[in-house]
Amino acid sequence: MTAGKKQQLVEKLQENVSEFFSTFHKKHELNMQCAKGCAQCCHVQLSIFPVEAQRIFDWWQQLKQDDRQGLSQIWKSQSNDVPSSEGKGKKCSFLFNEVCSVYPVRPIICRSQGLPLKMKRAQTDDEDNTTTIELSVCELNFVNDSSLPGQSEWLDLDRLNTLLSIAEQHTPSADISPDIMRLGQQNEGRVPLGQLRDLLLQNMN
């Protein structure tokens, strides 16, 4: 597989998740609050795989100079070091005025928010080792238990992370910016979005 196809794999994964969300939302929109202007799930500090960070980095470098200048001014004008509002955690470093400033290249974790997300959790006790399915879903969606779709419609977060990990492993190190590689090495293989934003600001030219 060529380097170009590897990058396309990451983009395809992101597109597939967006398509899954769109199809799911059309079916269950009466029980979901997800819409433009809602940023409930963005009040959190996230880290992502370097291969997804690279896509944001490449997008940034391809923007027109005026667009980069405009974004950089917005990013520099606001601080994410304090809670964004009462009762919420620190907001995403790319969230401003409740809008994602890197929306076209937002990572998979952002594209999946609002969906019922399932993940396996191992439980160990003195007598038995078991695996359970844990559900994560936005507190604004499916507020009535009866409205929650069955497990067959939940998105498998473990599988998504596995696919991203495969894309990461098969991407030559030469295809990832040395600065992004360094951030990943410093953060146990993940790139914090706040540090990625700082890196973009350092690469204005």
Phi and psi angles of residue 142, each rounded to the nearest 5 degrees, phi first: 50, 55
What mean pLDDT comes out for the span 168-182? Answer: 89
pLDDT for residue 82 = 44
| Domain extent listing, the chain | 3-114+161-202
Give the model's pLDDT for residue 181. 94
Show the DSSP H helices in 29-64 as ranges: 50-62
- CA 76 to chain CA centroid, nearest Å: 22
pLDDT of 203: 84
For residue 121, give the 3-state DSSP assignment: strand
Q: What is the pLDDT of residues 98-145, one digit of tens each?
A: 899 999 999 999 999 999 999 988 766 656 667 788 999 999 999 988
- Give the tens place of pLDDT for each residue, 11-41: 999 999 999 999 999 999 999 999 988 998 9
Indicate the average pLDDT of the chain.
87
Question: Is 7 a residue whose pLDDT tops 50?
Answer: yes
Residue 181, CB-side half-sphere exposure with 13 Å CA sphere: 9
Report how far residue 156's alpha carbon sits from residue 172's, in angstroms, rounded to the nearest whole number: 27
* pLDDT of 191 strictly over 90: yes
Q: For residue 116, with 0-12 CB atoms within 10 Å meaning exposed, 13-18 middle and 19 or more buried, which class applies? A: buried
Please report the pLDDT score of residue 102 as a whole number.
Answer: 96
pTM: 0.86
